[in-house]
Amino acid sequence: MKLYLKIIAVALTLCYPFFIYWGLQNYDVRVLFPILLILLALRWATGSALGERKIVVATLIGLIVIVLAAGYQLGLKFYPVLINAGFLALFASSLFSPPTIVERLARLKEPDLPDSAISYTRKVTWLWSGFFLVNGSIAAVTALWGSDEVWMVYNGMIAYMLIATLTAGEWLVRQCVRARNEKTESHG
C-alpha cells in the first residue's frame, strides 16, 4: 500500500505545476489548496526518513504563512520554492554535522567508503546545496513576478530537466573519479 501511495505522491509532485496552472485558469484558488494539502499528507505518509518529514512540516508551515500574508495563489505557486528551501536546509546542514546527506546515501550501497569517496560526497553535497539555492531562487522569481505560464514552464519542465542533467552529469563525473582513484590505488 505504501508503495502505491509513494507512486501517487511522486506523480502528483511531477504534475503539480501543470495541474495548478490548469486549475488557476478554471477554478477559484481556494478550491485548489486542499489538493496541495493532500499532496503534503501523501508525502508525509510515504516519507521514509525524518528529514523528509521535517521538509513536509516546514513546507506546510511556510505555506500557511504565505497564504495568510499574500493569498492562496502565491501559496500554491510557492510550493516548489519551499521544497527547494527544505532540501537546501537538509543538504547544507549535513555539511556542518557529518556525515553529509550524500555520504549517507552512498553508504547505503557501499558501507566502507574510502576517504577519497567521502571527500567526493562532501563536494557533491555542496553542489546540490548550490543547486537547491539557485533553483529555489528562480522558482521564487517565477512565483512572484512571472506569469502563470512562465511559472508552469520553469517549475514543471525546466527545473526537472536541470535536476536530470545534474544527476546524469554527477553520475558521469563519479564514474571518472572512481576509475581514476582505482587506477591510482592499483599503481600506488
At position 90, the amino acid (one-letter code) is L
Q: What confidence score (pLDDT) does residue 7 get?
A: 87
Contact call for residues 65 and 31 (beta carbons, < 8 A):
no
Range(s) of the domain holding residue 155: 2-187
CA distance 44 to 98: 25
* Per-residue pLDDT tens digits of the chain, which is 188 residues long: 778 888 888 888 899 999 999 999 999 988 888 888 988 888 888 877 777 888 888 999 999 999 999 999 999 999 999 999 999 999 999 999 999 999 998 899 989 988 888 999 999 999 999 999 999 999 999 999 999 999 999 999 999 999 999 999 999 998 898 888 777 777 65
Q: List the Cα angle 134/137/143 in 5-degree steps.
A: 145
Domain count for the chain, please give it. 1
Q: What confidence score (pLDDT) does residue 184 get?
A: 74
- As to burial, measured by CB atoms within 10 angstroms (0-12 exposed, 13-18 middle, 19+ buried), residue 1 is exposed
Contact call for residues 37 and 86 (beta carbons, < 8 A):
no
User: Which among 155, 137, 134 is positioned nearest to 17, based on CA atoms?
Assistant: 155
Give the other-Cβ count within 10 Å of 98's Cβ.
Answer: 12
Q: What confidence score (pLDDT) does residue 52 get?
A: 80
> 3-class SS at 71?
coil
CA distance 185 to 2: 43
> 3-class SS at 160?
helix
Q: What confidence score (pLDDT) does residue 188 get?
A: 58
Give the other-Cβ count within 10 Å of 120's Cβ.
Answer: 21
